[in-house]
Structure 1
Amino acid sequence: MTPQTSFDAGTEFDRQVRNLTDLGYPDLAGLDPERFTALLAPLRDLALGAAPTPYDPEGGRVPFLLVVSREVVPIEQTMPLTTLRGKDKSGFVDRSFEPGALERFVAIPSTALPDRRAYLLFDVERGEEFCDVVPNDAMDVIAERGRTLLTIEEGVALVTHFPQLLVKNKCFSLGGSRSSDRRVPAIWISRNTPKLGWCWAGNPHTWLGMASAGGRGGAM
């Protein structure tokens, strides 16, 4: 299938807002739907002005992604709202994250988050070219390209808005969120549903690449 190189950015932005609303994000954030929508609305113009990049979710690439951070809705509540395409089984956080561990996996300084609540991520790639590559090496290559690593929240958003993007042998690590140890968060398929887990920074996996993006943008 040939990637769709152009699409209606406004329609896609509205779809992502509606997707979050339908999934119950406003209630989880303690906001009514109108206030939740108002929080995201200033980002629409950024989406409309985004540089054109391929729209090819099945191929692992999308032009932009609407991200709601853990400061609005905790990861422990957003991950169970993810599913695989055509499935209704809830995603989950692996128990290998000991109690309190997720709070320690924070955005690395180089991600330069534009807003602590909600923002856009641009030119997102699943990163399957890095399958079977040592995560540390993959992160170095991505940095050399001038791209940015995805955080946990951004990985959750990617699967939330584009469940078709998470497929067998094409899952991805999220090097933009790190703790003080060698663990690198990742999302892959387990028990026929998305799982948020981690792998060691020095251990490659044949089915696990490294997701990246061209940049981020927040409302003025």
Structure 2
Amino acid sequence: MPDTTPDPSTVLPALPALSVQAERLIELGVHEIAGLSADEIRAFAAQAAAEAGPEAGAVGDGALLAVHPDRAPASALAPLLRRDGRPGFVVVDMADVDAFTPCALELPDAPLYMVSGVDRGDHMSNWSPDEALPALTKEDRTPLVLTEGIHWVLQQPEALERNLCFMTIGSRLRKPDGTLDARTPAIWISNGTGRDGRERRNAPKVGWCWWNNRHTWLGFASTTGRRG
């Protein structure tokens, strides 16, 4: 198993202030997708910042503002992603993307919530999901669900880099017989090959990888906690 020591060169800057994140979601029309008003988004962000304290509230408390996937599913959020002027997309063989729901974790029972301590998991690159999940649990972290990963890239596009992309294994698809589908969601950058099409080269891509496979260019995004 690869070395687990994080590489300091891959540390990302702090997320934007919560108020800035709120305006970004409004600009993209995410509030309309979620059936919320712009004022509701702003009010939630302001309250969350205030609860974090005066100093943290001034710069954003390092948390990610997320909309519950029941309100804003991955299929609606992915096209809002942008890289090199190209919109994000879901791979053609993942038409059931919205059926990938939180697995072995609970999201706050609220339309809006905060995701704290987001990390891309670069030190777990070239691990399989099966190897990464128990390691995250040991670190008292839980994997991001797919929509949280998309929200992160919407707010901080530099979170997605060539050879430093990530999986969101908090989302899984449960089959009718109760077993879990072997596909696990991930967000990376298209090479414009195959069914993606050359016009999608460098576009943000929502796809999947097998549960037991390793990929040198995929870490495992995770969080220290969530609150509504």
For this pair of structures, how many residues does the alignment match? 202
Equivalent residue number for residue 175 of structure 1: 169
Unaligned runs of 5+ in 2: 1-8, 174-179, 191-200
- Give the match for residue 70 of structure 1: 69
Tell me if the contact between 1:150 and 1:211 (Cα under 8 Å) persists in the aligned partners: yes
Report the counterpart of residue 102 of structure 1 in structure 2: 97
Aligned to 1:156: 150
State the shift of 1:46 in Å: 4.2
Q: Which has the larger radius of gyration?
A: 2
Answer yes or no: is 1:187 the counterpart of 2:184.
Answer: no
What does residue range 18-97 of structure 1 map to in structure 2 within 5 Å?
18-38=23-43, 40-48=45-53, 63-84=62-83, 87-97=84-94
Deviation per CA, 1:135-173: give whole Å up to 9, x if none: 210111111111111001110111010001100000000
Task: Find the residue that maps to 2:126 and give its secondary structure.
Answer: coil
State the alpha-carbon separation in 1 of the partners of residues 54 and 223 from structure 2: 17
Of all paired residues, the percent bearing the same amino acid is 36
Give, as a single letter, the amino acid of the residue that structure 2 aligns with 1:137: E
**What's the Cα RMSD here?**
2.8
Runs of 5+ unmatched residues, structure 1: 56-61
Output the CA distance in 2 between the equivalents of 1:172 and 1:2: 13
Task: Say whether the 8 Å CA contact 2:31–2:41 is kept in structure 1.
Answer: yes
Instruction: Provide closer, same or farther for how the CA distance between residues 200 and 18 of structure 1 changes in structure 2, counting only shifts above 3 A.
Output: same
TM-score (norm 1): 0.81
**TM-score, normalised by the number of residues in structure 2:** 0.79
Corresponding residue for 2:212? 202
Q: Is the 8 A contact 1:40 1:118 kept in 2?
A: no
Write out the 4+ residue segments of structure 1 that deviate beyond 6 Å after TM superposition: 1-5
